[in-house]
A and B are shown apart, each in its own frame.
Chain A
Amino acid sequence: MSESEFKLDYVKKDLPLYVRNVGLILSAIGLIIVVISYLADPVRTAYNSLILTAFVVSIGVCSLFLVALEYIAGAVWSVVFRRISEFLSTVVFIAPIIAIPFLLNLHNVFIWTHTGTVAKDAVLAVKAPYLNVHFFLIRFAVIFLIWWLFYFIFIRNSQKQDITRDQKLTKINIVFSGIFIPVFGFSISIAGIDWLMSIEPKWYSTIFAVYYFAGSLLAALAALTLIAVRMNEKGLLIPGLMKDHFYSLGALLFAFTNFWAYIAFSQYMLIWYANLPEETFWFINRTQGSWMYLTIGMAFARFVIPYILLLTQPSKMNPKRLKIAAVWILLSHWYDLYWIVMPNYSKHGIAFSWNEIAFPVLVLGLIILVFYSRSRKVNLIPVGDPKLKRSLEFRL
């Protein structure tokens, strides 16, 4: 069937205005609390900014990864949802802004920035060529530049296709996806190791980057699912979306929930079994005092509960239950990052108060605002994509 015969039943609709208002209000409130929090306790705010930078990068970069994955795998069913991932990937631009508090307080967050301590410590001295402030900032800049570069390539070609309907643009994006995916593997590993793992620079775990990736992709998928279901409910997406499309999202969420559990358990079991002091202390820190409850809670929040929520076939086909699962997974990703970062701020017990709320509110508002502004000028469906017809006809 040729392109011209396919009549697309799509009318561009804008997101309702209240979305922007909610975004504005949340951002404003969030910004105010963040500023107060920073004035009151800069170090604590820096730790929180680290958590949320990792969170925003999770959603942004892994959304970009999902776009690339769709191109390179030739996936058909997800074409109708691609714009949502594209819009979400825009949040990689706000990540450096979120990161400002911890970049200003590197000295308080990362022990390897203390040159005197590093000089005395044989382990840290060996790692100094990698873990030093200059190289850290260079890596920070380079990985963001790479992500931005690929963002512009993918998004520009994708949006150009809406007008020109040129199939070559898909091919170009496929080639760039092939380049992006290994680059993504390295850059997300650098992000995970630099920002999350190097808070405890003496800790050894070869699987940590994969752990961060697994949780991140889960978060990006959950954000995509949540927004896709919500927009479909409001009739903003194209008519004709079937439960088959949503089932696929649910199946991916379920699969990556299991993947996360597999990776997390692999990391824990190997460290537990080998019982080497340079590995175990990380987990021992997380069992001190009330951290123990959060550590046990992790297994339930990130694996058992989403597993039960998504286990049955009807639960993956029912948009309402998918939405609950998606919100839960997004929250549990923040929980995961909090659990990784905060035991270094408060060694003996959980530290949770209004300071921890500030950044999530700000980030939620900013993501909504970014999503809203991106969705205004662009079609919510890639109308020029040659796979769109097949995507609409996708059945399990």
Chain B
Amino acid sequence: MKEKTLFSITGLFDSSDEIGHAVEAVVKAGYKKYDVNTPFPVHGLDTKMKLPPSKLGYFALVLGLMGASAALFFMWWSISKDYPIIIGGKPYFALPAFIPITFEVTVLTASVGTVLTMLFLFFRLPNINHPLQDTNYMRNVSNDKFGISIEAEDPLFEAGKVKDFLKSLNAQDVGEIYFEEDETADSTRIFSPKFIAFLIVTAVIISGVTYFTLNKLLFMDPFNFMEEQQRFAPEGQTTFFKDTRMMRTPPAGAVARGAMPYMFANEPDSAAKELINPLQPDEKTLALGREKFNTYCSPCHDYLAKGNSRLMGQFPNPPSLHSEKVRNWPDGRIFHVITEGQNVMPSYAKQLEPNERWAVILYIRALQRAMNAKEGDLK
């Protein structure tokens, strides 16, 4: 058995009025280190105990401001700066839309943070021991009594005197509280495997029950009128149209949005005559042309357009694009081949937009020039 130290002398009272008077008397007697324990919050005790105003409000203020600025900063950074998104035609930094979230985050950080601050800073949470714990006194004040405990550390403390003083206030069960020195220093109990296991089991059970209740038991479709709307399936039948088909053919002459119909189908000569390359051979265009040529043309035509590609021998090889014939073709004629296809080569109209085709043609021209350079090019 270790030696025990006197912590405090305690007394119990029956009502909140009595404890109020007792506190006033204790303050008058000049005791500084004492505490009052009541089964419920008693209004006005803090003023009677002459406690200074709580500092917790400042923590709440700072935490709230931190939450507000963090929320605003994160929204600004994520959808105004890092990955700008236009939502509902509003500016990137749509402040009014950010306010509700800022408000919520402010309240969340302030309230949760204040509770945690209180637990860790004021109640010294990892340490869950207190000399008053597991005493008859604590059992009483957490049930129906109002207790006062004058601690031995008080400069005016003298065991006999304090006892007489409490008795003179009509306190019941005036007694001493002892504690072991190492008892309060023991802050590891919170990390004991038993306690951790209990926390984990509780967390699993609570989250499991919550998940089951919200997602399985009480699950309801949220408003689903966009999911459930009436629509025509392409292959379906309907009585709405005379021909009972849901899929409609576009009216004659209809053109898809953004599409330009090709006007020289099966007319390579007029294409050669009429079509003019709208692009200039600048760095940007040639880069685009090279990219598209390497992607779509080079598998057969080879990177240098000579025709000895990596697929050589698997099907009839395309001729070299450096032949006299192709070099003398106008741009429009090559455009026609890309658009319509020729011999084994299929149409590349789906893969290449018109301006990409023109860029590819410019790149081919550059390749041809490189293979058949003129004397003047050296200057």
Residues of A within 8 A of B (CB): 265, 268-269, 272-273, 275, 312-314, 395-396
Q: How far is the CA of A265 from the CA of B97 in the complex (A)?
A: 11
Question: B88 — nearest CB in chain A belongs to which residue?
Answer: A273
Interface of B is mostly: loop
Q: Flag if A313 contacts B88 (CB, 8 Å).
A: no
Q: Flag if B100 contacts A269 (CB, 8 Å).
A: yes
Q: How far is the CA of A231 from the CA of B100 in the complex (A)?
A: 41
Across chains A and B, the number of contacting residue pairs, with CB separation under 8 Å, is: 22
Given known contacts A265-B99, A269-B99, A273-B97, A395 and B43 CB-to-CB distance under 8 angstroms: yes
Judge whether B30 is part of the interface by a CB distance below 8 angstroms. no
Task: Tell me the minimal C-beta distance from B68 to chain A in angstroms.
Answer: 13
Residues of B within 8 A of A (CB): 43-44, 53, 57, 88-90, 96-97, 99-100
CB neighbours of B99 from chain A (8 A): 265, 269
Task: Tell me the minimal C-beta distance from B135 to chain A in angstroms.
Answer: 31
Question: A311 — nearest CB in chain B belongs to which residue?
Answer: B61
Q: Tell which of B44, B53, B57, B96 touches A268, judged by Cβ atoms closer than 8 Å.
A: B96
Q: Flag if A312 contacts B100 (CB, 8 Å).
A: no
Question: A313 — nearest CB in chain B belongs to which residue?
Answer: B53
Q: Flag if B44 contacts A273 (CB, 8 Å).
A: no
User: 7 shortest A-B CB distances, which residue pairs?
Assistant: A269-B96, A395-B44, A272-B96, A395-B43, A396-B43, A273-B97, A265-B99
CB neighbours of B97 from chain A (8 A): 269, 273
Q: Flag if B96 contacts A273 (CB, 8 Å).
A: yes
Given known contacts A395-B43, A395-B44, A312 and B57 CB-to-CB distance under 8 angstroms: yes
CB neighbours of B44 from chain A (8 A): 395-396
CB neighbours of A268 from chain B (8 A): 96
Question: A265 — nearest CB in chain B belongs to which residue?
Answer: B99
Q: How far is the CA of A312 from the CA of B53 in the complex (A)?
A: 11
Task: Tell me the minimal C-beta distance from A274 to chain B in angstroms.
Answer: 9
Q: How far is the CA of A313 from the CA of B54 in the complex (A)?
A: 11
Q: How far is the CA of A395 from the CA of B47 in the complex (A)?
A: 11
Task: Tell me the minimal C-beta distance from B90 to chain A in angstroms.
Answer: 8
Q: How far is the CA of A295 from the CA of B96 in the complex (A)?
A: 15
Contacts A269-B96, A275-B89 given; 18 further ones with Cβ under 8 A?
A: A265-B96, A265-B99, A268-B96, A269-B97, A269-B99, A269-B100, A272-B96, A273-B88, A273-B90, A275-B88, A312-B57, A313-B53, A313-B57, A314-B53, A395-B43, A395-B44, A396-B43, A396-B44
CB neighbours of A395 from chain B (8 A): 43-44
Task: Tell me the minimal C-beta distance from A317 to chain B in angstroms.
Answer: 10
Q: Would you list 22 pairs from A and B whose C-beta atoms are within 8 A, ordered by A residue?
A: A265-B96, A265-B99, A268-B96, A269-B96, A269-B97, A269-B99, A269-B100, A272-B96, A273-B88, A273-B90, A273-B96, A273-B97, A275-B88, A275-B89, A312-B57, A313-B53, A313-B57, A314-B53, A395-B43, A395-B44, A396-B43, A396-B44
Question: B46 — nearest CB in chain A belongs to which residue?
Answer: A396
Q: How far is the CA of A275 from the CA of B57 in the complex (A)?
A: 40
Task: Tell me the minimal C-beta distance from A391 to chain B in angstroms.
Answer: 15
CB neighbours of B100 from chain A (8 A): 269
Question: B53 — nearest CB in chain A belongs to which residue?
Answer: A313
Q: How far is the CA of A265 from the CA of B95 in the complex (A)?
A: 12
Q: How far is the CA of A269 from the CA of B97 in the complex (A)?
A: 7
Task: Tell me the minimal C-beta distance from B73 to chain A in angstroms.
Answer: 20
CB neighbours of B90 from chain A (8 A): 273
Q: How far is the CA of A396 from the CA of B90 in the complex (A)?
A: 47
CB neighbours of A269 from chain B (8 A): 96-97, 99-100
Q: How far is the CA of A118 from the CA of B43 in the complex (A)?
A: 62
Q: How far is the CA of A396 from the CA of B57 in the complex (A)?
A: 17
Q: How far is the CA of A313 from the CA of B57 in the complex (A)?
A: 9
